[in-house]
Amino acid sequence: MDEHYGQYVKPRLAKVLRAIGLDVRYERAQGDYMYYRDASGAERRVLDLLGGYGALLLGHNPPVVLDAARRMLDAGVPVHAQFSLRGKTGELARALNQIVRRDSRSDTDFVVTLANTGAEAIEAAIKHAELERVKKLERLLDAITLNIEHVRDAIRRGVVEIPPDLYESTDMREYVFDVRSFDDLIVALINHNSKEMARRPIFLALEKSFHGKLATSVQLTWNKNFRRAFQSLGLKTRFIAMNDAAALDRIAREEESELFDVGIVDGKVALIRRPWPQYAAFLLEPIQGEGGIHSVDVEFGRAIRAFCNQQDCPLIIDEIQSGMGRTGAFLASSQIGLRGDYYTLSKSLGGGLAKLSALLIRQDRYDTDFGLVHSSTFAEDDFSSGIALAVLEQLERDDGALYRQAAERGNALKRGLESLRDRYPDVIKDIRGRGLFLGLEFHPRDAAYSQILRTTDYADSLGYFIAGYLLRIEGIRIAPTGSSPNVLRFEPSVYLDDDAIARVVDALDRVCRILRAEDTLHLVFP
Ligand code: PMP
């Protein structure tokens, strides 16, 4: 049975899992623990720090979520009630709006689009952002057309003066060699505007970002291994280094482009330059998960907000991994005082059981046409919505006790990891992150004496090598971050207790000792 996955699902991945030692089949899971059978048939208990890549803030199969699911199943809640007023979905959207409004200190409500996966919420955000941009552009073009007619009429009636240099603009010569009349000028203007508008919309994202792997969202994901083959499918994305505010000015200068318009200024016909919406969206994870647990700082957040305001470009804050309380607040972005125009949420929203995601858009930006042009058979079902409601109730009860617990448990784990860094500064380069969203970075091993370590460094696989060891020898399930294999990522549940933390620190202490001594035969297991 175990070979079916490798034969029919992911042949290459199954080989990789076998090579690393992660080729186990879990049979059950509860809280922070998962269970599999070893070769002798004995059940092995594993402490799960991978935590469904962030989907398990409440742990595996949390009783409150299972209860909510059972109640709905017993009550025969309709899962498929498309094209009707969906009760629990409405309640969920209202609750999400309230929490995000409060956390982001927003002065307006949000409209919620529900989807099935994280990448799908990102795709919906991209589509809405482009819809917003195209409509803005249409309004601008309508205004320019009206202005042209208005000026043409004024010229015909002789109530406006044509300044002698009006037809001299060198910009216009590029399109019509010899501009001699207002009509020539308009032909040149339309040519110029058409050429500028043929540019593809610009999406901005950070280096090391991860926003999904669907055909469009993957264009905003930094890792070339995921993106390279699909680059010609679309989206012009410019990537900006983390906390590099100067890059924003540079991009604004490099991409500067204006449309031409005409008007009457002081009784004279004038050529007017207008900025136009070139930027479709800025996507941002407040703390990058797959990229190696890197946080946006307060100042960079401010610079991004200012850039987006200046360019009238929606800021999409991707809280798919960082949100839902993981960092000690519902939104990690609220902890740095950064306000988004759109928010995406997923992972723990489904309580470890349902698959769903949500896109929240500020009401004053939301285009009601979007609800007609975007849908999915499986989105908005009352079953997933009911589960998400149970999750939100859990997070919000006792005045947000679980947010505080996430911060406190995260600090306890972080202190343990920092004590390791203090003891092994030659092995551990950095401990970073917030709440239950932490990263431990190992120093590169390219200069190691041990050939095994040099090879893992060369193959970018040190974190995977260690993950295999931790699973098989220490009974701990953990994975490196997607794009930085030297960084182990910790995303346990809020219920991680002190004993589990001590166990993690002890196990990693042994790993550090092995790495320090380059005693890599200890990393080898059958
Ligand atoms: N955005 C972020 C920040 C993520 O971490 C992820 C998943 N790791 C996604 C988007 C994509 O979510 P999914 O895997 O559900 O498509």
Q: Name the residue with the closest Cα to ligand 1, atom 13.
A: 118
Ramachandran area for residue 296 (φ above 0: left; ψ -120 to 50: alpha; else beta)? beta
Mutational test site, ligand 1, from 210, 219, 355, max ligand atoms within 8 Å of CB: 210
Question: What are 270-283's pLDDT values in tens digits?
Answer: 999 999 999 999 99
pLDDT higher than threshold 70 for residue 75? yes
Q: How far is the CA of 228 from the centre of ligand 1 (A)?
A: 18
Q: pLDDT band at residue 522, thresholds of 50, 70 and 90? A: confident
Q: Name the residue with the closest Cα to ligand 1, atom 10.
A: 211
Distance, CA of 491 to chain centre: 16
Distance set, CA 278 to CA 209, 256, 308 (Å): 21, 9, 12
Tell which residue, 302, 305, 291, 308, has the closest CA to residue 432. Answer: 291
Ligand 1 atom nearest the C-alpha of 347 is 15
pLDDT at position 1 = 60
Ligand 1 atom nearest the C-alpha of 344 is 1
pLDDT higher than threshold 70 for residue 99? yes
Ligand 1: residues whose CB is within 6 Å?
A: 53, 117-119, 122, 210-212, 285, 289-290, 318, 320-321, 346
Ligand 1 atom nearest the C-alpha of 318 is 3
CA distance 235 to 475: 43
Ligand 1 atom nearest the C-alpha of 285 is 3
Which residues lie across from 487 on neighbouring strands?
Answer: 441
pLDDT at position 449 = 93
CA distance 172 to 464: 59
Are the C-beta atoms of 57 and 325 separated by less than 8 Å?
yes
pLDDT higher than threshold 70 for residue 17? yes
pLDDT at position 65 = 98
Ligand 1 atom nearest the C-alpha of 288 is 3
**Stretch 100-119: mean pLDDT:** 98
pLDDT at position 49 = 98
Q: How far is the CA of 212 from the centre of ligand 1 (A)?
A: 5
Ligand 1 atom nearest the C-alpha of 119 is 16
CA distance 186 to 304: 37
pLDDT at position 464 = 93
pLDDT higher than threshold 80 for residue 172? no
pLDDT higher than threshold 90 for residue 169? no
Q: What percentage of residues in the chain have a pLDDT greater than 70?
A: 99
CA distance 386 to 89: 7
**Stretch 85-110: mean pLDDT:** 97
List phi, psi (to 5°) of 15.
-65, -40
In our burial notation (b when 16+ CB lie closer than 10 A, e otherwise), range 152-177 reads beebeeeebeeeeebbebeebeebbe
Question: Which has more confidence, 387 or 179?
Answer: 387
CA distance 524 to 440: 22
pLDDT at position 526 = 63
Q: How far is the CA of 47 from the centre of ligand 1 (A)?
A: 23
Mutational test site, ligand 1, from 56, 126, 211, max ligand atoms within 8 Å of CB: 211
- Written as six digits, the tokens of 280 are 């479709």
Q: How far is the CA of 21 from the centre of ligand 1 (A)?
A: 25
**Stretch 102-110: mean pLDDT:** 97
Question: What are 112-156's pLDDT values in tens digits?
Answer: 999 999 999 999 999 999 999 999 999 999 999 999 999 999 999
**Stretch 320-325: mean pLDDT:** 98
Burial class (CB in 10 A: 0-12, 13-18, 19+), 214: middle
Mutational test site, ligand 1, from 214, 320, 331, max ligand atoms within 8 Å of CB: 320
pLDDT at position 231 = 87
- Written as six digits, the tokens of 351 are 């309580």
Tell which residue, 110, 136, 53, has the closest CA to residue 343. Answer: 110
Q: What percentage of residues in the chain have a pLDDT greater than 90?
A: 90
How do strand 279-284 and strand 202-206 relate by DSSP bridges? parallel
CA distance 370 to 124: 9
Q: Name the residue with the closest Cα to ligand 1, atom 14.
A: 118
List phi, psi (to 5°) of 512.
-65, -40
pLDDT at position 525 = 67
Q: pLDDT band at residue 307, thresholds of 50, 70 and 90? A: very high
Q: How far is the CA of 119 from the centre of ligand 1 (A)?
A: 6
Ligand 1 atom nearest the C-alpha of 482 is 8
Kindly give the interhelix angle for 451-458 and 462-469, rounded to the nearest 10 degrees. Answer: 120
Q: How far is the CA of 493 from the centre of ligand 1 (A)?
A: 18
CA distance 386 to 87: 9
Q: How far is the CA of 321 from the centre of ligand 1 (A)?
A: 7
Are the C-beta atoms of 209 and 237 separated by less than 8 Å?
no
Question: What are 211-264's pLDDT values in tens digits?
Answer: 999 999 999 999 989 999 998 888 999 999 999 999 999 999 999 999 999 999
- Rg of the Cα atoms in the chain: 27
pLDDT higher than threshold 80 for residue 2? no
pLDDT higher than threshold 80 for residue 436? yes
Q: What is the mean pLDDT of the chain?
A: 95
Q: pLDDT band at residue 168, thresholds of 50, 70 and 90? A: confident
pLDDT higher than threshold 80 for residue 173? no
Which parts of 158-211 fold into alpha helices (H)? 170-173, 182-197
Ligand 1 atom nearest the C-alpha of 357 is 15
